Amino acid sequence: MDTQEEYSCSCGHLNTKFNEGKTCPKCGTEVAFRGMTIDKNGWIDLSLSKYDENGIVVEEGNGFHVIEYVAYSQLEKVIGRESLRNIIHTKNTITITGELDTTEIDEIRNENEKQKYWFIGLEEFYKKYDEVLNYYYELSGSKNKRLYDFLKSRDEVFTDKIPVISIILRPAMRTADGLKLDPINIMYQNILKNIKVLKDINTIEIIRNATIEIIQAEYFQLSEEIMENVKSKFGIIRNQICGTRVNFSARNIISPAKAGIKIDEMVLPYLTFLELYRFEIINILKTTEGITLKAAEREWYNATLGMDEKVYKIMKKMVKDNEIGVLLNRKRLRPNKVIY
């Protein structure tokens, strides 16, 4: 994983703008602007393998798999919500000797044909996946061949990698009471704690199965939290947009344009353009008129109070000379070229 610093070398040993241009003695790369991106990520390896410093597996681990977040909802359509939940659930009834009470489990399985594979646990479900899927697909009488074709690939349904998103999307804050972690960080910590239990070779089977089930639930909770963070109006991506240079967003009623405008072209209202390209307009006013930044900002502000012909001409020239684009907050999410 590369560093998250704005100015850094590849390994992160040297960072900040103060070191810009210096060569890192560790990785040999130059300290340069890298930007605060959200596409840097890693993963928690559920294979429990051991790696060397170069990322090469030196010892295969006795790992496990969990069901992918999206695939789970599709499996419910074929297997059924109750059956799927009970298939991956580990029955915790034990005998007086501490062994799993298989007699009670067998009785439950024989009660109904839908309960044939209940309580086999995630590991056994992974091993018998084709058998279980085919059984419930035929039992359901489903005609959705497309869904079945997607689900029959075990690699599309299970994973032994839990993604770890960028720290930008799971910030931590130091307060007077100590380090305050984002809920996502806490979920990652809980997953790692349970994985530590599985690394103990003395962990008995019933505890191992129950722990894997807990990790599956934590992975789902984590996925939902991430989805909520990025999709909602108050999500961190929206907040980041509204807290930086592109915070100059505007709200408009979208209406059909006049004839002759292409699907990726749009007409932008005066005040909207003024807000979206605030810095560019102020910079042009400062440069062309030879005035101070403060005076240029004042001119921009006055233009927001009423139609300003001088500023309007600047806008028209910007559209004519440059590829002015606007991103609409809609499902299509394609940049639209401003033509007027």
Whole-number pLDDT of residue 1:
33
Domain match, 86 and 223 both: yes
Residues 136 and 284 in one domain: no
Q: Which stretches does DSSP call E strand in the chain? A: 7-8, 32-33, 42-45, 50-51, 57-59, 66-67, 158-159, 161-164, 172-175, 178-181, 265-266, 325-327, 335-338
| Angstrom distance (rounded) from CA 194 to CA 212 | 8
Ranked by mean pLDDT, the top range of 100-104, 175-179, 298-302 is 298-302
Residue 208 lies in a domain: yes
Same structural domain for residues 9 and 137? no
Structural domain that includes position 313: 248-338
Which of 193, 217, 237 is where one domain is finished? 237
The overall pTM is greater than 0.85: no
199 and 111, same domain (yes or no): yes
Q: How many domains does the chain have?
A: 3
- Do 134 and 273 reside in the same domain of the chain? no
Please give the backbone phi and psi of residue 268, each rounded to the nearest 5 degrees, phi first.
Answer: -105, 130
Q: Which pLDDT score is estimated for 79?
A: 93
Concatenate the DSSP letters of all residues of 5-38 into one string.
-SEE-SSSSSBSGGGTTPBPTTT-PBPEE----S
> Does the residue 61 lie in any domain?
no
Q: Is residue 42 part of a domain?
A: no
Residues belonging to the chain:
340
Within a domain: 46: no
Residues 195-212: pLDDT tens digits? 998 888 777 888 888 999
- Number of Cβ within a 10 Å radius of residue 6: 14
Same domain, 323 and 255: yes
pLDDT digits (tens, 9 = 90+) for 64-122: 999 999 899 999 999 999 999 999 998 877 777 767 778 888 889 999 999 999 999 99
Domain boundary among 237, 268, 298: 237
**Number of Cβ within a 10 Å radius of residue 159:** 17
| Residue 100, in any domain of the structure | yes
d(CA 162, CA 190): 13
- Is the domain of 178 the same as that of 32? no
Q: Is pLDDT of 244 > 50?
A: no
Whether 167 is covered by a domain: the verdict is yes
Element (H, E) at 182: none
pLDDT over 80 at 34, yes or no: no
Is residue 283 in some structural domain? yes
Comparison of pLDDT for 154 and 255, the residue scoring more: 154
Same domain (yes/no): 158, 279: no
Same domain, 119 and 154: yes
In this predicted structure, the answer to whether residue 214 has a pLDDT above a threshold of 80 is yes
Question: Between 227 and 175, where is the model more confident?
Answer: 227
Residue 75 forms part of a structural domain = yes
Residues 169 and 75 in one domain: yes
pLDDT band at residue 245 using 50, 70 and 90 as cut-offs = very low
- Position 181 scores a pLDDT of 80
250 versus 287: the higher-pLDDT residue is 287
Tokens describing residue 251: 């709200």
Same domain, 80 and 207: yes
More confident residue, 300 or 203: 300
Outline where DSSP puts E strands in 88-132: none
Q: Is there a single domain that holds both residue 132 and residue 20? A: no
